[in-house]
């Protein structure tokens, strides 16, 4: 049984509007995402979503269940998405090995019993970023390489938001129950993501910011459109976005982030836009 986890309960708009800086960080920021030689989790009560990570350095690491799941094995009633943001590594699922290079992804379906994580080189260890959601059906495990992603280019240098979206685990590429994951890479000189902002009351989301220089930061914006808040974030930190909240950011440098979401449907375009002049 893995005991390296936190539980975060859902918080509403009214409570969030009363929070100061530390309270916001305590509820929504995941400051330390990756466990070294252990799988680390945050279990949220937004759609029972889980976000975490593992850096296998010296050992091959087993994906064990956690007590809140009340399950015999982790993926007994769940599906999971994995993106490697470190050195080359391998995920072995029920005896089948999947090699993941930098920014490659893997989907694991419900019912996969034995999952192991390992690095090719302990001096350049893999960093497996993990997202998981409840699943009602078993779909096949599937690797998604960078060249298999669905690519969308948005924004412009003039508005400092020129970016490339790589949809990795989405229903046009991989069959899933509700989990979706992808990656957004900002061009040099661009700093704004997800702007104009939007909300999607039918699903929640988690962002992991990375490729951010250690002496730089991202200000992540959240909250309802007329009561926005911000959280300053460092490299390889994640933030939980409730269904009622915008999720956007601006950095002191360009960066990349992984988005993961789950909820009511699999329509990527199901969102309600927030015109920039309406934000408060």
Confidence category of residue 267, pLDDT binned at 50, 70, 90? confident
Give the number of residues written for the chain.
280
Q: Is-contact 131 150, C-beta < 8 A?
A: no
Instruction: Please count the structural domains in the chain.
Output: 1
List helix spans (H) across the chain.
13-17, 21-28
| 3-state SS track over 59-121 | CCEECCCCHHHCCCCHHHCEEEEEEECCCCEEEEECCEEEEECCCCEEEECCCCCCEEEEECC
Specify which residues 249 forms β-bridges with: 193, 220
Round to whole Å and give the CA distance between 209 and 255. Answer: 7
Q: Tell me: the pLDDT tens digits for 103-157?
A: 999 999 999 999 999 999 999 999 999 999 999 999 999 999 989 999 999 999 9
Other Cβ atoms within 10 Å of 271 Cβ, number: 15
Q: Which residues contact 116 (CB under 8 A, 6 or more apart)?
A: 60, 61, 62, 63, 91, 92
Round to whole Å and give the CA distance between 5 and 216. Answer: 28
Query: In CATH, what number is assigned to the domain containing residue 234?
Result: 2.60.120.10
The DSSP symbol for 187 reads P
Q: What is the extent of the structural domain holding 50?
A: 5-278
Mean pLDDT, residues 17-29 taken together: 97
Whether residue 265 is predicted with pLDDT greater than 90 in this model: the reply is no
Q: Tell me: the pLDDT tens digits for 149-206?
A: 999 999 999 999 999 999 999 999 999 999 999 999 999 999 999 999 999 989 999 9
pLDDT score recorded for residue 78: 98
Whether residue 266 is predicted with pLDDT greater than 90 in this model: the reply is no
């Amino acid at each position: 049984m893995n005991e390296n986890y936190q539980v975060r309960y859902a918080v509403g708009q009214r409570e969030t509007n009363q929070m100061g800086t530390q309270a916001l960080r305590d509820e929504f920021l995941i400051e330390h995402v990756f466990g070294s030689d252990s799988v680390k989790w945050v279990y949220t009560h937004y759609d029972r979503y889980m976000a975490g990570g593992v850096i296998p350095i010296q050992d091959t690491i087993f994906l064990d269940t956690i007590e809140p799941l009340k399950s015999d094995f982790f993926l007994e009633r769940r599906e999971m998405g994995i993106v490697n943001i470190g050195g080359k590594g391998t995920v072995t699922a029920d005896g089948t090995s999947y090699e993941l290079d930098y920014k490659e992804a893997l989907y694991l379906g419900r019912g996969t019993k034995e999952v192991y994580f390992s690095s090719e080189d302990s001096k350049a260890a893999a960093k497996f970023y993990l997202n998981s959601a409840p699943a009602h059906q078993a779909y096949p495990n599937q690797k998604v390489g960078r060249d298999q992603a669905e690519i969308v280019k948005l924004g412009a240098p003039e508005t400092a938001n020129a970016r490339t979206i790589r949809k990795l685990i989405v229903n046009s590429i991989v069959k899933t129950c509700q989990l979706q994951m992808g990656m957004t890479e900002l061009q040099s000189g661009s700093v704004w993501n997800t702007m104009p902002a939007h909300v999607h009351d039918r699903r929640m989301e988690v962002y992991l910011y990375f490729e951010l220089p250690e002496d730089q930061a991202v200000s992540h914006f959240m909250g309802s459109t007329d009561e926005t808040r911000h959280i300053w974030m460092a490299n390889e930190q994640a933030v939980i976005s409730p269904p009622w909240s915008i999720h956007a950011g601006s950095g002191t440098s360009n960066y990349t982030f992984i988005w993961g979401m789950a909820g009511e449907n699999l329509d990527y375009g199901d969102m309600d836009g927030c015109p920039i002049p309406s934000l408060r």
